[in-house]
Structure 1
Amino acid sequence: MPYILIQVTDEGVTVAQKQQLIRGATDLVVDVLNKDPATTFVVIDEVATENWGVAGESVQQMRQRIR
């Protein structure tokens, strides 16, 4: 029973894009690991940019700095 967690920043990922991620991740574990898609769980977690850090600063801070 695979559980796949996809984390992205909350910057306008569309419903269609999320569906593609869910389908693609499911297909990958079916193809590579021969898992049953009916028992493959995919969760998409959208994280606010102020809660996602890179190189010691939040993505929000970094983007404000480079603008």
Structure 2
Amino acid sequence: MTATRARTWIRSSYSTAEGAECVEIAPSADNVYIRDSKDPHGERLALPARQWSAFVAFAAGRS
């Protein structure tokens, strides 16, 4: 990610109260950004929204 912008990050509902071992996502109009909650300033992935939807469906066993 080249530009730094304020994003609203959403933590997994399966996360513990401490949030020590989970991923967070920040959806935008075109992409879904993914980061490790343990390293919020570290590397991030950016997936097109369509690919994110396909991943979620696969993970939920609906594909």
Shorter-chain TM band: under 0.3
TM-score scaled by length of structure 2: 0.26
Give the number of the structure whose alpha-carbon radius of gyration is greater. Answer: 1
TM-score (ref. length: structure 1)? 0.26
Flag the structure with higher helix content.
1
Higher RCO (C-alpha under 8 Å, 6+ residues apart):
1
